[in-house]
Amino acid sequence: MTIQWFPGHMTRARREIQEKLKLIDIAIELLDARVPLSSRNPMVDEILQGKPRLILLNKADLADARTTEKWRAYFTGLGYASLAIDASTGSHVNEIPVKVKELLHEKIARQIAKGMTPRPVRGLIVGIPNVGKSTLINRLAGRNIAATGDRPGVTKGQQWIKIGTEMELLDTPGILWPKFEDQLVGFKLAMTGAIREQVLNVEEVAFFAIKELVVRYWDALAERFGLTEPPRDATDNDELVRVMEDIGRKRGCLVSGGRVDLEKASGIILRELRAGNLGRITLETP
Ligand code: G4P
């Protein structure tokens, strides 16, 4: 589901998160490991108001592992702990409660020093739509709790989900908006599937994808679609369209007269890219 964000929605989303912040000890910020910058809310530092934070690079299964490590180092440099995870299979997800406890150890130690039995630490997952918040909540809970495709303003009664004995998670995530006033961000999110095609033209998104892939991942593109020659000039739009046509021909996307059905070819390019069929791809480096 694609959320149409208007200023009113953003204000409401922000207010909802700030209400939830009062209840929690730590915010868990979910990013897409393929596009850690574009999947980041532009105002997240301001919104989270200095709450302890753990950054999760989700969908790491689809991202370039070496670049993901660079991103982790980048966030360490900014003073944030991070983990690279795959919420859909649960890879590294069990490290989350451990990391959370580590980040809150001073608070826990203070409670113990006062003779209190430390209560479970409470967390909130935040992130833009489609980054994997519901998948992660369900994975941590070990059962289906969060409905995917949620949106701000549609909250049910809030409940705490127990994650082991020492952590609890709010069952509804905090939904943030991307920096969509930046067109490049929009294209990257569309390319990775965070923004559905209905909003943007499929051929334009596929063209953008080809442009990125020719420069960053020509070998993967060539191998997947059986292409032989890279375009001589990756900034020449005609040559890039020719790459799309080549792919279309290889996949039998032809219309009468032997012309390539670019819309159909575009659909194939995007579907296979998003499914990880071209290999692990990251579009942003720190
Ligand atoms: P949201 O709550 O933040 O909006 O995101 P949601 O959990 O609905 O996840 C959005 C899509 O991303 C889902 O796919 C989900 O399966 C996929 N996803 C989440 N985490 C990961 C991950 O770590 N790796 C991979 N490869 N995919 C992940 P979908 O196409 O919308 O649905 P479906 O095809 O899974 O049914």
**What is the atom index within ligand 1 of the atom nearest the CA of 127?**
3
Q: DSSP letters of the chain? A: ------HHHHHHHHHHHHHHHTT-SEEEEEEETTSTTTTS-TTHHHHHTT--EEEEEE-GGGS-HHHHHHHHHHHHHTT-EEEE-BTTTTBTTTHHHHHHHHHTHHHHHHHHHTTPPPPPEEEEEEE-TTSSHHHHHHHHHTS--SPSS--TT------EEEETTTEEEESSPEE----TTSHHHHHHHHHHTSS-TTTS-HHHHHHHHHHHHHHH-HHHHHHHHT-----S-TT-HHHHHHHHHHHHHHTT-B-GGG-B-HHHHHHHHHHHHHTTTT--------
> Residue 37's CB: how many other CB atoms inside 10 A?
19
Distance 32 CA to ligand 1 centre (A): 10
* Sign of the Cα pseudo-torsion (1, 196, 8, 30, in order): positive
Q: Which of 130, 189, 196 to mutate to test the pocket of ligand 1 (most atoms within 8 A of CB)?
A: 130
Closest atom of ligand 1 to 91 CA is 23
Task: Give the atom of ligand 1 at the shortest distance from the alpha carbon of 135.
Answer: 7
> To test the ligand 1 pocket, which listed residue (91, 128, 135) has its Cβ within 8 A of the most ligand atoms?
135
Q: What pLDDT is recorded for position 144? A: 79
Query: Does the beta carbon of 129 lie inside 6 Å of ligand 1?
Result: yes
Q: How high is the mean pLDDT in each 10-residue block of the chain (286 residues)?
A: 76 94 97 97 94 98 97 97 97 96 93 90 96 95 68 63 92 91 91 79 95 96 95 94 96 93 96 95 96
State the pTM of this model. Answer: 0.93
Contact 72 CB / ligand 1 (< 6 Å): no
Distance between the two ends of the chain, CA-based, in angstroms? 29
Answer yes or no: is the C-beta of 34 below 6 A from any ligand 1 atom.
no
What is the pLDDT at residue 197? 61
CB of 132 within 6 A of ligand 1: the answer is: yes
- Pocket mutation for ligand 1, best pick of 148, 154, 195, 282 (most atoms within 8 Å of C-beta): 148
Instruction: Supply φ then ψ for residue 122, to 5 degrees.
Output: -115, 130
